[in-house]
Structure 1
Amino acid sequence: MIIEEMLKLSEQTEEDTTILVDEILHSIFFLGVINSPRCSPKDIVRDKKKLKELKTLFPNPFKFYSSQLPKRSPISFLLDMIVHLIGQENEDKIIQMLRDFISKLSRGKEGKPLISFAIGISQKNKSPDAVRYYGVSMSTSGRIQGKIMVAASCLSAWDSRVADAIMTYIPDKSKKPYFDGTIKLPQSVRCEVFSLSRMTKMPPCITCGNLFGLQTIMNERSKGAHGHCAEAESLSNLFKNEDEVKMQAQPASETCTDENRQRAKDYVLKHLKNFLKTVNFRWDNTFYMPDFYFEKSGVIDY
Structure 2
Amino acid sequence: MAAEVGRREERLNPGEIFRNNAFIIITEMLELQNQTEKDTTMLVDEILHSILFLGKIHDPPFSPLAIFDDDEEMLNVLKGDYPRPFALYSSQIPRRSPFSCVLDMMVHVSGQDNEEGIKNRLQEFTNQLKKGANSQLLFCSTMCVSHINEPNSVRYYGVSMSNAGRKSGRILVNAACCSAWDDYVAGAVMTFYPKRAKRPNFDGTIRLPEGVTCQAFGLSDGREKPPCRSCATLFGFQTTATESWANGNCAEVESLSNLFKNENHIKEQARPLSETWTEGARQTVKEEVLRDLKNLLKAVKFEWENNFYTPQIN
Using structure 1 for the length normalisation, give the TM-score: 0.93
SS in 2 for 1:105: coil
Which of 182, 192, 199 is residue 176 of structure 1 equivalent to? 199
The residue type paired with residue 290 of structure 2 is: L
Correspondences of 1:207-286 after superposition (within 5 Å): 207-219=230-242, 222-286=243-307
Q: Deviations over 1:74-114 (max 9, x none)?
A: 011010000011111111110000000000113xx466431
Structure 2: how far apart are the matches of 1:27 and 1:140? 15
Shift of 1:208: 0.2
The residue type paired with residue 267 of structure 2 is: K
SS in 1 for 2:285: helix
Q: Deviations over 1:231-266 (max 9, x none)?
A: 000000000000110010010100000111111011
SS in 2 for 1:251: coil
Which of 160, 178, 185 is residue 162 of structure 1 equivalent to? 185
1:104 and 2:166 aligned: no
How many residues are matched? 288
Shift of 1:190: 0.5
The residue type paired with residue 228 of structure 2 is: C
Structure 2: how far apart are the matches of 1:79 and 1:58? 20
1:119 and 2:140 aligned: no
- Cα gap change, 1:59/1:163 in structure 2, threshold over 3 Å: closer, same or farther? same
- Cα gap change, 1:10/1:119 in structure 2, threshold over 3 Å: closer, same or farther? same
SS in 1 for 2:217: strand
| Aligned counterpart, 1:10 | 33
Structure 2: how far apart are the matches of 1:66 and 1:279? 12
CA contact (8 A) 1:165 1:180 kept: yes
CA contact (8 A) 1:75 1:139 kept: no
Structure 2: how far apart are the matches of 1:142 and 1:44? 24
| Aligned counterpart, 2:90 | 66
Shift of 1:141: 8.0
Q: Deviations over 1:50-82 (max 9, x none)?
A: 000000000010011111010110011010000
Structure 1: how far apart are the matches of 2:267 and 2:148? 10
Shift of 1:271: 0.6
CA contact (8 A) 2:162 2:250 kept: no
The residue type paired with residue 74 of structure 1 is: P
Structure 2: how far apart are the matches of 1:203 and 1:290? 34
- Cα gap change, 1:141/1:248 in structure 2, threshold over 3 Å: closer, same or farther? closer
The residue type paired with residue 305 of structure 2 is: D
Query: Percent same amino acid among aligned pairs?
Result: 53
Greater CA drift, 209-218 or 77-86: 209-218
CA contact (8 A) 2:214 2:252 kept: yes
Which of 135, 144, 148 is residue 171 of structure 2 equivalent to? 148
Structure 2: how far apart are the matches of 1:94 and 1:282? 37
Q: RMSD of the alignment, in Å?
A: 1.3
Structure 1: how far apart are the matches of 2:103 and 2:57? 23
Q: Deviations over 1:111-133 (max 9, x none)?
A: 643111000000022x3511000
List structure 1 runs of 4+ shifted beyond 6 angstroms.
Answer: none
Which of 94, 118, 131 is residue 118 of structure 2 equivalent to? 94
- Cα gap change, 1:41/1:74 in structure 2, threshold over 3 Å: closer, same or farther? same
1:31 and 2:76 aligned: no
Shift of 1:160: 0.6
- Cα gap change, 1:139/1:49 in structure 2, threshold over 3 Å: closer, same or farther? farther
Using structure 2 for the length normalisation, give the TM-score: 0.89
- Cα gap change, 1:282/1:161 in structure 2, threshold over 3 Å: closer, same or farther? same
- Unaligned segments of structure 2, at least 5 residues: 1-23
SS in 2 for 1:104: coil
- Cα gap change, 1:266/1:141 in structure 2, threshold over 3 Å: closer, same or farther? closer
- Unaligned segments of structure 1, at least 5 residues: 297-302
Structure 2: how far apart are the matches of 1:280 and 1:246? 38
